[in-house]
Structure 1
Amino acid sequence: MGLIRTVGGTVGSWLARTRLARFLLRRFGTRALSLLPESVLVPLRRDGLDPVPELTRIRETAPVSKLPVPFGVNLWLVTGYTESKQVLADTASFSNDYRHLGALVGAEEVSPGGLGFADPPDHTRLRKLLTPEFTMRRLARLAPRIDEIVTGCLDRMAAADGPVDLVEHFALPIPSLTICELLGVPYTDREDFQRLAVARFDLFGGAGASLGAISESLTYLRGVVEQQRKNPGDGLLGMIIREHGDEIDDLELAGLADGILTGGFETTASMLALGALILLRDERSATLVRDDDAAIGPFVEELLRYLTVVQMAFPRFARHDLEVAGVRIGAGDLVVCSLSAADRDPVLGADIDRFDPVRPPTQHMAFGYGAHRCIGAELARMELRAAYPALVRRFPGLRLAVPEQSLEYRQTSIVYGVERIPVHPG
């Protein structure tokens, strides 16, 4: 039982204190969020593309601070860059095991599997299986297909009558098609992929809706894995089955596929949409990306840092009493790191709240840090580096079809994003 074995009665007492939380989530669903103080939701709030000023004040005042959560839960928010690195790198002191989060929301039986919610040695074993498939050498085989996918999206935009939505026609299909290509699963199911991926990240859907989306996705992917067992294809699932078939069962493999799907789809889609918005509002960036191939890499890295669309890392549970930045955290306490706050920490450079397309690349945490750093980081970079220059070169006159202030952003979502970006391509 991982953490429960480690801290024994301490966690038992902590889990007992979650009964009220379970009742409220089951009884009130989405409305349970209204019972939380606004300060608890600050890490998920933004002012356009920027974290809200209150998050900056929290980081400057106390980079490790206790959030006033009801229900008897001890929840710590880490906002400093150095402090976040400490927490994210320390798997000996912090557990990612999903069962503890499931217990918090009254859904112990539901687990998405995958890497993000696993501890060593399971995490180490599973990541070892995946790592060879995400080397640049293996990913290079996808580069021509990514270019084809981007070109196809731009062709459909060019053929459309009137304004087109960059989210629908550009940001969503590129990672959806790419992930389907990577996994070797039918692209005909892309709409279900999108629906299930979005549902689990938007807290307005309620905990039950998010967990239901996880369950439905895993059910589908278990079916895909069963078919791949019978006839392994050329995608990632087929490769793992051929090379490591006896080392991983169907449930674990479905969990890995689900983690790749949701981690590689929703996050990249949000980056593509919000990055395109930067290009629309900043002619300097658009010109650099359009005219200078050498500028694309630094532009993407600065965009990853500035936007940090995954606003918080997976929650950690303290395995034992410890200190972070002089703050005592008790065994069983829940700890969340605000990646968006950490990536605006002045330790990363001067004028760090400003987007600078030629800023030298920083050691940002847009992909996390430590053992749980996103394994698909290089694939995401490939998609972004291919998509942005293709967009501005194909449509040099690209412009918003609505006032920018009318754009709707997600209000309380772990993965930040914009709902629609209507544009005139020409």
Structure 2
Amino acid sequence: MSSEHEQTSSPIAMVGVLPPDLLERDRDRPFDPAPGLLERRDAPAVAPVELRNGARAWLVTGFEEARAVLADPRFSSDRVRHRDATQLGPGESGGTVPDAPPPGERTDGMFVFMDPPEHTRLRSLLVGQFTVRRMRALEDRLTEIAVEHVEAMRAAGTTADLVPSYALPIPSLMICELLGVDYADRAEFQENSAVALNAAAAPEARAAAAGALYSFIAALVARKRAHRDDDLLSGLAHDADPALTDAQLIDVALVLLGAGHETTANMLGLGVYALLENPEQLAALRADPSLIDEAVEELLRFLSIIQLGVSRVATEDVEVGGVTIPAGDTVVVATPEVNRDPRHFPAPDHLDVHRERTPHLAFGHGIHQCLGQQLARIEMRVGLRELIARLPDLRLAVPREQIPLRNDMLIFGVHALPVAWSEGS
């Protein structure tokens, strides 16, 4: 892998340097932000925080302040040209990298860690692939996938671990079909993705998994170059203008493949868990299935599974929420708490499937807002709808204290979700 790729592919470092109280959810309150964030709710919406590597960052917990940061071009996403404090080793300083390449010379395709115009060029190649209309056209296929997996669970008995049996296969199958990945290969990339995103894994293990994932995608790109198929990756390989290099195409595929299954799978698993633990909300959804879209938006807001959120580096002095962020300093947007800001959301800690739709930041904001958000919404809508309709007495099969939380991962969720239902339901 290139040095540029190595610099831009380590968001897991954030989990390793942020104070644990900002990350690790309370087992008794698994759907709430971490205790350290809840304790800061009455503190200023923009406040300094000392990282475990000795560096200082600025924690943003207010909704409007977070939107301001994510929409302001003076806050950079470029991890090649700017040193993010969450990526620093002990004694290192942040700011602009002294030998950073001038604009136009980046050769990687990690567009999520780029600024315009490089980001604009790469993202523009993908926007047309993820339109609302195109994503809605996939709903019938998603329904087939969901029904097939619910019926497979029912045929196998009256209990299952919902994560491998249902929550993971739905988005994995869909993104494999979109990108042209052989679904038989899913175990390989899922296993390597899990290790690469595991903050508790040894650095050597994470590096080996990331390397294996890169090699897997490189071989896939080579096949698409040689034999065009009717999929998104083939289109990018043959139709991009100007053409993408293999390195850029590999990076783009890594972003799409990772984001396309890991996030939605965890939202589905955790979303079902949240509904089972809030039976009055599940009952309301069963009684009125037309609430499904409101329920999806509310779960996205309520759960906010990205730990802890996203980071940016100030390229000049910028004032946010009455606080001046010095040039070169890092800002961390605490998405789980931002989406619980009581100034923006009434009764923010209450899951309410009747809640009037209010903008949230689960998919980010600004030029880096999630490309696949419409696909994720449809996957959640279909996944929840079919599960609830076909297993009317779905329930947890173990006490809540036995459900393993993903506190050790970049994306929060549950490692397993044992559920049960009655025979013949």
What is the identity, as a one-letter code, of the residue corresponding to 2:70?
Answer: L
8 Å contact 1:397–1:425 — kept in the other structure? Answer: yes
Match of 2:62 in 1: 80
1:327 CA displacement? 2.3
Note if 1:418 corresponds to 2:414: yes
Match of 1:229 in 2: 225
8 Å contact 1:313–1:339 — kept in the other structure? Answer: yes
8 Å contact 1:96–1:315 — kept in the other structure? Answer: no
TM-score by length of 2: 0.85
Structure 2 Cα separation of the partners of residues 200 and 370 of structure 1: 27
* Alignment deviations for residues 243-282 of structure 1 (CA, whole Å, 9 cap, x no partner): 3164311211111111111112111011000111123233
Match of 2:398 in 1: 402
What is the identity, as a one-letter code, of the residue corresponding to 2:147?
Answer: T
Matches within 5 A, 1:19-418: 40-47=19-26, 48-98=30-80, 100=83, 104=88, 113-161=109-157, 163-244=159-240, 246-418=242-414
Query: May I ask how many residue pairs the two structures share in their alignment?
Result: 393
* Alignment deviations for residues 64-100 of structure 1 (CA, whole Å, 9 cap, x no partner): 2222225452322211111111111112332332564
Using the aligned pairs only, state the percent identity: 38
Cα gap change, 1:86 to 1:178, in 2 (>3 Å): same
- Which stretches in structure 2 are left out of the alignment for 5+ residues? 1-6, 91-96, 101-106
- Which stretches in structure 1 are left out of the alignment for 5+ residues? 1-14, 16-28
Cα gap change, 1:114 to 1:243, in 2 (>3 Å): same
Cα gap change, 1:159 to 1:317, in 2 (>3 Å): same
Say which SS state the counterpart of residue 335 (structure 1) adopts. strand
Say which SS state the counterpart of residue 391 (structure 1) adopts. helix
What is the identity, as a one-letter code, of the residue corresponding to 1:243?
Answer: D
164-173 or 316-325: bigger deviation: 316-325
Structure 2 Cα separation of the partners of residues 189 and 122 of structure 1: 32
1:105 CA displacement? 5.6
Cα gap change, 1:112 to 1:400, in 2 (>3 Å): farther
Say which SS state the counterpart of residue 61 (structure 1) adopts. coil
Cα gap change, 1:296 to 1:229, in 2 (>3 Å): same
1:208 CA displacement? 4.8
Structure with greater proportional helix content: 1
1:413 CA displacement? 3.0
Structure 2 Cα separation of the partners of residues 391 and 377 of structure 1: 21
Say which SS state the counterpart of residue 74 (structure 2) adopts. coil
Say which SS state the counterpart of residue 316 (structure 1) adopts. strand
1:301 CA displacement? 0.4
What is the identity, as a one-letter code, of the residue corresponding to 2:88?
Answer: L
Structure 2 Cα separation of the partners of residues 208 and 119 of structure 1: 30
TM-align CA RMSD: 2.7
Structure 2 Cα separation of the partners of residues 147 and 105 of structure 1: 47
Cα gap change, 1:103 to 1:58, in 2 (>3 Å): closer
What is the identity, as a one-letter code, of the residue corresponding to 1:299?
Answer: A
Structure 1 Cα separation of the partners of residues 389 and 110 of structure 2: 38
Say which SS state the counterpart of residue 42 (structure 2) adopts. helix
8 Å contact 1:105–1:207 — kept in the other structure? Answer: no
Structure 2 Cα separation of the partners of residues 104 and 127 of structure 1: 28
Structure 2 Cα separation of the partners of residues 207 and 337 of structure 1: 25
Structure 1 Cα separation of the partners of residues 258 and 80 of structure 2: 16
8 Å contact 1:96–1:314 — kept in the other structure? Answer: no
Structure 2 Cα separation of the partners of residues 80 and 214 of structure 1: 34
Say which SS state the counterpart of residue 200 (structure 2) adopts. helix
What is the identity, as a one-letter code, of the residue corresponding to 1:287?
Answer: A
What is the identity, as a one-letter code, of the residue corresponding to 1:135?
Answer: T
8 Å contact 1:42–1:52 — kept in the other structure? Answer: yes
1:50 CA displacement? 0.8
1:295 CA displacement? 0.6
8 Å contact 1:112–1:215 — kept in the other structure? Answer: no
Structure 2 Cα separation of the partners of residues 375 and 112 of structure 1: 19
1:54 CA displacement? 2.8
* Alignment deviations for residues 217-262 of structure 1 (CA, whole Å, 9 cap, x no partner): 2221122112111222111112223431643112111111111111
* Alignment deviations for residues 365-398 of structure 1 (CA, whole Å, 9 cap, x no partner): 0111111111000000010010101001111121
Structure 1 Cα separation of the partners of residues 388 and 57 of structure 2: 44
